[in-house]
Chains A and B, each alone.
Chain A
Amino acid sequence: MSVVDISGLNVSFRQGSDEVHVVNDVSLKVEQGETFGLVGASGSGKSTVLRILAGLNPDWSGSLRLFGDPVQPHSRFTGELRRRVQMVFQHPYGSLHPSHTIRRILSEPLIVHKRPNVRARVTEALAQVGFGPEIADRRPHQLSGGQRQRIGIARALLLDPDLLLLDEPTSALDTSVQAEILNLLTTIKRTRPITYVLVSHDRDVVAHMCDRQVVMSGGKIVA
């Protein structure tokens, strides 16, 4: 059973009398425990595919199975799927609420999913990405870009996801900080059974991280 099984995926919108295909007949499978790379230039459709996998873009057609179960287009993710699939975004600042403390940001998924021992689990999650508990009382603007991205990763891991979607997780960071984040992702993978789908325009990052990859251009898989 593949973690991700896409076949004949299409996304298009109308522009006047033309139909613009953002994703054009994309088929791919990602197996349990893999790190799978989606590479391509801006506008190639790679982020759109990732957003579909995250349930953030329900307007598609074709066939999609996650963990063996079919997902219907034009529907919201419900139940376990909302825990099993998590995403790390490109701009850590834009994805963390600017006026909430780190504790509140990390507590939210636990509260939504009605998990016990919120405080202890937040401390544990922070330790996992290399922070002491004292950082929980700070706000995102008091952190550097790399620190914010580590918070984004901690938040995504809090619910023990089976599939982690990474949308250009290091492209807003310095190479030196990128190395720290990539190492963190590699280390996490060594300690638990998790599948990664990594979207990046940087071939070197994908070559470093991924077991398999496809290249997208103009909405299609070209290699």
Chain B
Amino acid sequence: MSNLVNVQNLAISFPAAGGGRFEAIRSLSFAMGAEKLGIVGESGSGKSLTALTLSGLAPRAAAITADRLEVAGNDLRRFTPRDWPAYRGAVAGLVMQDPKSALNPSLTIGRQVEETLRFHHRLPARERRERVLAALDAVGLPDPKTLVTLYPHQLSGGMGQRVMIAAMLVNEPKLLIADEPTSALDEALREQVLELLVSVVESRRMGLILISHDLAQVARHCDRALVMYRGRLADEGRAADLPTSTNLYTSTLWACRPSAATHGQLLPTLDRAAIEASL
């Protein structure tokens, strides 16, 4: 198995109002090993749906077809509803956007981080507790012993997101999928949380799929990047090359970001007709 993730010709459609079908993703193909892959694009480009599909969490109404859809040797196309729970958390972990809505408000932090361990393994209580404390410590949270007794509302957004990452790491999955993991956080915390994600992924030789609307973030932290436009792959390449891409869509997305250097000027905007024509 040379590749961790292998997606070929993925197409996802939804029933549309008026009887037709809305094609949310069209003939998407990509493969990755134990590397950091960024998927960027505007809202509605299909990047989150790709993440959800790899976690078995796409909406039920979605009709999914693919020639290949594999993660760590698992053929996701053949999965029955029973197969998903054993896969999620153990093979692929998902970190969502907002810790406030992803954590259960009525369970302690310790309980929630422990949940994947309880689900996937039969371990003595003491070992479970040690692994939970180690995972919380690994994401840089202070005083894990007190933390496990707290509830989500007692944490800040940055701490909540660290807890989410710890809950995903505790089972050591092969692939971590992070869907806009920092967009609910203040600017100052974003880099910290990303650096943490990157360092745990690298030290455990896991694969990372980072879904983000922020091209600069992906250029800084990922090895490779896919750029999606309206369900299709518009551009792909080394993440560090994003700023110099000659692709019309990628270069406009990069250049349309405001800064002190653009003060008083009009920003470049997307010429959607030209982009559609170039795809």
Q: CB within 8 Å of A: which residues of B?
A: 42-43, 186-188, 213-215, 252-253, 256-260, 262-270
Contact = CB atoms under 8 A, between A and B. Distances in A.
A182 B267 contact: yes
A42 interface: yes
Contacts of B263: 207-209
Nearest to B42: A174
A204 interface: yes
Given A41-B188, A201-B187, A175 B256 contact: yes
A99 interface: no
A125 interface: no
A-B pairs with lowest CB-CB distance, top 10: A208-B258, A207-B260, A179-B256, A179-B267, A174-B42, A183-B266, A41-B186, A204-B259, A176-B270, A208-B262
Contacts of B214: 175
Interface string A172-193: 0011111110110011000000
A174 B262 contact: no
A176 B44 CA distance: 13
B269 A180 contact: yes
A201 B186 contact: yes
B269 A179 contact: yes
Contacts of A205: 258
B266 A208 contact: no
A175 B257 contact: yes
B203 to A, nearest CB: 30
Contacts of A178: 256, 258
A183 B268 CA distance: 9
B244 to A, nearest CB: 18
A174 B270 CA distance: 12
Contacts of A186: 264-266
A203 interface: yes
Contacts of B215: 175
A207 B213 contact: no
